[in-house]
Chains A and B, each alone.
Chain A
């Protein structure tokens, strides 16, 4: 039967002496280990006028520490075949690395220094800032990026941190100084409040020993997330002219927080409307019947503050109006009529049946646990998820769709070579 309880997916959760919470699953088939630090240092902490600061900080971590220069770090980690990356979302930063068991000690020695003692050298800071600015300018080439940036600014407004791109913009990144970076790091990169996910070939005893060895000098409590500022949404249609063959469209509105107890019900509802796979209502109507788009989907952002509900697609400039009309028709039908029992059971079967596929490698398990741990979804979430999906009823879906999804108070962003009214 699909969804049977697999206790191998319940992590052992414990704390180091410095208060860092570790979520650990032993998987010993292959000789490597995946680590993922989840640090509450996302772009929601970016100060006014310095949007993009959280990202700059994260991109500077591997650019020099007390014992290693930028080049040393790259050279040594590459030499051991270590994969590593740092990324930042609106809510948190993650530091990911995977290493062969043979190199575990040598890898942790370097990464521990990087996390605890970054020096943010001025020379590297100047270079990284330039690289980030160049990336921001280059991303303007991508209509999807332009649409998403515009959508966020309209749906959240300037008062809300989600109204800005995680990477900031050219001026705001330009305004960031090395001192800003140092101060942000000091406030937010702390063990208490952060999580460390470990999945792979290492025993608990060895893990504790090695983590205590390298991280016991790291202390402090990270700053909590402030209350959510007011959302000032602008509904209506906003067009950004761009010389493209297709128009990119995002339609949506603010929806709920990830912590909302109805979130799972919305996941099921959305699966029917525009979820993954090749069977959703939007896919049927817009791609299969309409031939409008290659890709069309919807989702609710799982975020700490209020996430948005979004429908995304691209179509030839000349057909954008009729495509939007059809999408809105589907949205109305969804809000008004909910879903059928056949659709519901297909959505549930898909979500439950495909769930093990999200957990079939060390890396994927670590990714999922990072998410679960940050949003405090309980350590047995991975075995509880199928049951929670299973328990969603057709009334639940009808109710949450009515309550949280709207077909009138919506923001539509169009990026393309289209006429502006």
Chain B
């Protein structure tokens, strides 16, 4: 069995101040990826301050006492590094990729410095807000499909902070103050709320020694109190119409709220998504695109790694020209009912398993991908066993399991759907 010998076996260390250091040694190429993960994302925000985590991510490039504005990026460039950062609902990540692994000292120096010494000024803040508002215009306002997704997610989650978009609502971004930002920074940018992930041409011991040298003296922060959010049970189907002037072809995005990877049902849900709508041989694609020719795009998706206990099982469809959204939607429901009744075939289960094995192996080729996986698991509170036992757990999914999760979660009452339609403006 191919997959048995393939697993991720990192070395783990914890500094006294709580900083966790996870290293995968891989000497295949001279490269390395260095990532610092903070367990703070849009789910740690509140109404009126949405988007603050992402805004802070932008401001992290604005310099410290020691390295003034722009210096960080100049030093990284000068040393041949690629850098960037991103914010999700669950976390914020900063990374540098180096062509030469010896350069990680630079990451150590710069990342430890900006973990505590960030210098925020009104002037830089004002301009960066404008940049973030442009980012929102670019990625959401002028992108009809993004608007659709934003609206459907906001309707699906009422109580849980997954309700609002990562980038925040426009007015909140405008209104957030420097003081808010400082408070957010001081509360969450702490060694005991961070994880360092290093994958590449390095030695674990050496990385750990360096982490101690650069980060060891940073003080731990008071423990963070996090509300125990729970999205209450949905009491019936939610349907919405989303209009945007630039829509040329209507489309549909629907979600079911389902458990994340910490629950046993997750494995069957993953297989269910593969069988229903991932790839050109999936049930929905074959039925709607190839046979009935009622759609040009059909996809399902389910990503089990998250902090929040309920995540979305998503469905996206672009109908063929002149086919009504209601019509494709009803075919989807026929297929959902069919799998509830008859379950999957043996071949479908086997195919799903093969796809999981193959994509896991392909992913192992990339330092960055492995570091991402490790970081996500760590901040979302999964153990690494999750990855290493994943293929095995997937292969134990039975047809009965698939029927059960389909019956339990893919129900009308647990369904939120949005239709994206053109809006005529004068």
Contact = CB atoms under 8 A, between A and B. Distances in A.
Given A78-B355, A242-B246, A360-B367, A279 B279 contact: no
Interface stretch (B13-21, B125-133, B225-233, B399-407): B125-133
Contacts of B31: 356-357, 360
A63 B145 CA distance: 28
B2 A288 contact: no
B97 interface: yes
A278 B296 contact: no
Contacts, number: 198
Given A142-B143, A356-B29, A356-B99, A82 B81 contact: no
Given A29-B28, A79-B350, A133-B321, A279 B361 contact: no
A243 B246 contact: yes
Contacts of B206: none
Interface in A80-127: 80-83, 98-100, 102, 127
A71 B293 contact: no
A134 B79 CA distance: 46
A229 interface: no
A100 B2 contact: yes
Contacts of A130: 293, 296, 320-321
Contacts of A137: 248-249, 321
B220 interface: no
Contacts of B357: 81, 100
B335 interface: no
B210 to A, nearest CB: 20
Contacts of A315: 134
Query: Chain A CB within 10 Å — which of B99, B126, B145 has the most?
Result: B99
Contacts of A245: 137, 141-142
Contacts of A134: 249, 296, 318, 320-321
Interface residues of B, number: 74
Contacts of A78: 279-281, 351, 355
Given A130-B320, A140-B248, A291-B128, A279 B70 contact: yes
Give 6 closest A-B pairs by Cβ, nearest first.
Answer: A353-B80, A81-B358, A291-B127, A356-B99, A291-B130, A74-B280
Given A127-B290, A279-B73, A291-B134, 9 more contacts: A74-B279, A75-B281, A81-B355, A142-B143, A243-B245, A246-B138, A314-B137, A314-B138, A316-B133
Interface of B: 2, 6, 28-31, 61, 69-70, 73-74, 76-84, 97-100, 103, 126-135, 137-139, 141-145, 245-249, 279-281, 286, 289-290, 293, 296, 318, 320-321, 347, 350-351, 354-355, 357-359, 361-362, 364-367, 425
26 contacts: A30-B365, A71-B290, A80-B354, A81-B355, A83-B359, A100-B2, A100-B357, A138-B249, A138-B318, A141-B246, A243-B425, A245-B142, A277-B82, A279-B70, A291-B127, A291-B129, A293-B134, A316-B137, A345-B78, A346-B77, A350-B80, A353-B81, A353-B98, A354-B97, A357-B98, A357-B99
